[in-house]
Amino acid sequence: MSYVNDVAIIIFLFVLFAVSHSILANPKIKNKIAIRVGNNFAFYRAFYNLTALMSLVFIYEISPAPDLTIYDLKFPYDIIIYFLQVLSVVGIFWSFKVIDGSEFFGISQIKRYLNGTYSTKESDDNSELVIKGAFKYSRHPLYFFIILFLGLRPTMDLFYLTFYLCFVSYFVIGSYFEEKNLIAKFGNEYLEYQSRVPRLIPYKIFFK
């Protein structure tokens, strides 16, 4: 019964993180904050990323850790898993290659604020629709490769598995709401892209 309670607490804490993270990412909420703080909103993306990381580490640390091993792969299977994990890291870098990292992490916004070229009309980013590199095969390749990286473990316990399934759920559900915002921003251009490219799993590479 203690395992059930531990899992329930982990899920509850993760839901708190996910809900707060999603609220802060909501365009209506961001617009209200931008109206209140003016050009200081340039710091919002960096603040958003930093608080997300800190809160995630916090709930990870305070969550109960049920000591139940699900599986423990031995040689050579563990080596195979590590190799696949390395490939997933390559995929993460491949995805980031076509993204403006400075814009993504909020650095460019702060630079524009400091040199006087920032405007709240751009919200918290100046991003453009990217349809190249890994984004030609998956609309959310970063999510896909991060899911692979986190899931490819030679040893799995109940604590990590629960956290992992929470992450997968968050990415899947979050991608749906994220795309509603992208449709509102890019209109038919994104709808056409959406009709051609899979949401997460790039299966059309193999099945066209």
In this predicted structure, what is the pLDDT of residue 189? 92
In this predicted structure, what is the pLDDT of residue 37? 87
3-class state of residue 70 by DSSP = strand
Classify each residue of 80-119 as buried b or exposed e, where b means 16 or more C-beta atoms within 10 Å of its C-beta.
ebeeebeebeebbeebbeebeeebeebebbbebbeeeebe
Assess contact for 180 and 119: CB atoms under 8 A: no
Helix runs in 123-157, H state only: 141-151
For the chain, give every domain's residue range: 2-205
pLDDT tens digits in sequence order for the chain, 208 residues long: 588 999 999 999 999 999 988 888 888 888 888 888 888 888 998 999 999 999 989 998 999 988 899 999 998 999 999 999 999 999 999 998 888 888 888 888 888 888 888 876 666 555 678 889 999 999 999 999 999 999 999 999 999 999 999 999 999 998 998 898 889 888 999 999 999 999 999 987 766 5
Assess contact for 63 and 13: CB atoms under 8 A: yes
In this predicted structure, what is the pLDDT of residue 72? 93
In this predicted structure, what is the pLDDT of residue 104? 84
Average pLDDT, the chain: 89
In this predicted structure, what is the pLDDT of residue 130? 84
User: Residue 130 and residue 136: Cα distance in Å, rounded?
Assistant: 9
For residue 50, give Cα distances in angstroms to 30, 80, 117, 161, 194: 16, 34, 23, 25, 30
